[in-house]
Structure 1
Amino acid sequence: LHEAGLPYISLITDPTTGGVTASHAMLGDVNLAEPGALIGFAGPRVITETLGQELPAGFQRSEFLLQHGMVDRVVDRRELKAMLGVLFRHMID
């Protein structure tokens, strides 16, 4: 897509976990996520045990990732068509 000058828009749904997260979902030019979507490579238990500390509330949810710059926008599916229209118009201009 990049070589063709086309945008890679990723829509991250609930749940998006494991290799899909690392290999596809988070690599978009624009990353959109559904409200409340669980998004992560490893599960909370594995991360907690690895880090040796408790995770913040909402960790691995789309809103948390939006606040920390990992997704660009949280979009309800009912609003997705309009949001894609806005993105495409912006990219064309």
Structure 2
Amino acid sequence: MLKPCSLLILDNVLSAVDYETERFLLQEIHKLLKPENGMPALGGSLLIVSHRVTSMEQADWILVLDEGKIVDQGVHTDLIQRPGYYQQMWELQNENGS
């Protein structure tokens, strides 16, 4: 059971699950942090560290790191349109079905 927190960090915890399970788990975590329909919120922020770009689709803001340095930032829809590391990873992972 999750307790109220100011920051929840998920460091590559979804790498071993398939896409559907990953999406379901992220939706459920999002509901816990920012619930609707009058449910109590755990509050706080969610920081996801992942090599899987699909984990980032619903993120409010994405920092793209390459060799420990921020090389780009923005929202998913902008980053997949802009040539760069994130776009390359998106295309590669979608091509391979990851």
Task: Tell me, yes or no, whether TM beats 0.5.
Answer: no
- Larger strand proportion, structure 1 or 2? 2
Q: Counting helix residues as a fraction of each chain, which structure ranks higher?
A: 1
Give the TM-score of the pair, scaled to structure 2: 0.28
TM-score, normalization by structure 1: 0.29
